[in-house]
Amino acid sequence: MAEYQTARAGAGTRAGQIDEGLRAHMNKVYGTMSVGLLVTAAVAWAFGSSPALLSLLRDPVTLSPNIFGWIVMFLPLIMVFAFGAAINRLSAAGAQLYFYIYAAVMGLSLSWIFVAFTGFSIAQTFLITAIAFAGLSLWGYTTKKDISGWGSFLIMGLIGLIVASIVNIFLGSPAIHFAISAIGVLIFAGLTAYDTQKLKTEYLAHAHAMDAEWLAKSAIIGALNLYLDFVNLFMFLLSFLGNRE
């Protein structure tokens, strides 16, 4: 009996350590993601509020991208694929630095919104996005429902969304743009909950190993995924809620 109680106490202590570790892990994820969003916002505002800087990427009046603008437009997508290919060769510190550089590049690509939309509508949409993101992420973290099956469906939808967005850059169809925005909101809402639950389940699966290097990299990868969910959700909502200058 004494041995059973000792084992039970040990199991309870271990479970408590895992729960505490999970909270610390998720705090690291959300903290890294938040810093990335601040970097993006600062860079976007710095370039978007300065006609001289914005002219390096786009025509300040028509907002048509020049050659550097086209490069910056597609560079974040290229960097995401490069990050996935290089993550095993990067240290945790190197991965974190890469993420912050990526966030700065994303800021360059989004700088045009400070000319295209009013500052109030940008702030309003950001607040709405933050509230929606928090609710979706909290649901993904707390729900007992297994939503791992959403993954393949959401990824296929995301690939289709990327292809359609690239095609519509050249077509410029308002109807296609509206459809892309509506579908994009749904996809990234689903991805926010899915990615949050995936972070939790992956941590719990590896918690007993307590691999410090894996935990550090996992937190950065998780921060990148949730950062992308937030930014894309914000941009698609801005298409509906933003007031043009």
With a cut of 60, say whether residue 231 has pLDDT above it. Answer: yes
How many domains is the chain partitioned into structurally? 1
Q: Which residues, at least 6 apart from 244, have a Cβ–Cβ distance to it below 8 Å?
A: 116, 117, 118
Q: What percent of the chain has pLDDT over 90?
A: 58
| Rounded Cα distance, 214 and 52, in Å | 43
Quick one: pLDDT at residue 14? 52
Distance CA 188, CA 154 (A): 8
Most confident of 58-67, 114-123, 131-140, 151-160: 131-140
Across the chain, what does the average pLDDT equal? Answer: 87
pLDDT in tens, 75-125: 998 999 999 888 888 888 899 999 999 999 999 999 999 999 998 999 999
Handedness of CA 204, 152, 229, 133 (dihedral sign): negative
Residue whose tokens read 């509020």: 49
Q: Tell me which residue range forms the domain holding 211.
A: 2-241
Model confidence over 147-203: pLDDT tens digits?
A: 988 988 999 999 999 899 888 888 888 888 889 989 999 999 999 999 999 999 888
Query: What share of the chain in percent tops pLDDT 70?
Result: 89
Whole-number Å distance between alpha carbons of 126 and 151: 26
pTM strictly above 0.75: yes
Q: Is the dihedral of CA 80, 135, 33, 203 positive or negative?
A: negative
